[in-house]
């Protein structure tokens, strides 16, 4: 139980956005052990810069939920089998045309990978 702490808002963020947030925080304060672990992970796995990731999430969120758009942006699936795996546990299936459209949008941004 946390005293005096209240969650005001939750919003999914991409790995590149987390990386940017922690790098800014690192300039001002020393990071905790956990924050350093997260930053190391973000540095290793961020496939886009923060701005490009944000644009991609916005484009994908027109077709799928924002949480799904963030997952797609973080993982950047390369083909239809990867897309199907990502949505395998989701309720309700997406049409093949939707998945192809999502993959096409992701591929347009793949050229901007870090």
22 belongs to a structural domain: yes
Residue 5 lies in a domain: no
CATH number at residue 91: 1.10.150.80
Q: Please check whether residue 68 lies inside any domain of the structure.
A: yes
Average pLDDT value for residue range 92-113: 85
Do 67 and 102 belong to one domain?
yes
Whether the pLDDT of residue 113 is over 70: the answer is no
**Residue 3 banded pLDDT, cuts 50, 70, 90:** low
**Range of the structural domain that residue 27 is part of:** 15-45
Are residues 54 and 37 both part of a single domain? Answer: no
In the predicted model, what is the mean pLDDT of residues 2-13? Answer: 79
Residue-wise pLDDT for 81-95, tens only, equals 998 888 888 776 778
Give residue 8's pLDDT band: very low, low, confident or very high (50, 70, 90). confident
Confidence check: pLDDT of 111 > 90 = no
- Structural domain contains residue 7: no
81-to-11, 15, 42, 100 alpha-carbon distances in Å: 28, 23, 25, 11
> Does residue 8 form part of some domain?
no
* Dist CA 107 CA 98 (whole Å): 14
Structure tokens at 100: 């192809």
Considering only CA atoms, which of 80, 93, 85, 88 is closest in space to residue 106? 80
Which of residues 6, 26, 45 is at a domain's end? 45
Q: Please write the tens of the pLDDT for every residue from 21-64.
A: 999 999 999 999 999 999 999 999 999 999 999 999 999 999 99
Q: For position 78, what pLDDT does the model report?
A: 93
Q: Give domain status of residue 76, yes or no.
A: yes
């Amino acid at each position: 139980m946390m005293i005096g702490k209240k969650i005001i808002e939750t919003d999914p963020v991409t790995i590149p956005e987390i990386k940017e947030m922690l790098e800014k925080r690192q300039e001002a304060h020393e990071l905790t052990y956990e924050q350093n672990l997260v930053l190391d992970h973000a540095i290793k796995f961020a496939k886009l810069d923060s701005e490009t990731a944000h644009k991609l999430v916005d484009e994908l969120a027109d077709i799928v939920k924002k949480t799904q758009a963030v997952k797609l942006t973080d993982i950047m699936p390369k083909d239809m089998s990867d897309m199907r795996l990502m949505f395998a546990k989701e309720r309700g299936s997406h049409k093949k045309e939707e998945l192809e459209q999502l993959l096409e949008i992701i591929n347009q941004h793949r050229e901007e990978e870090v």
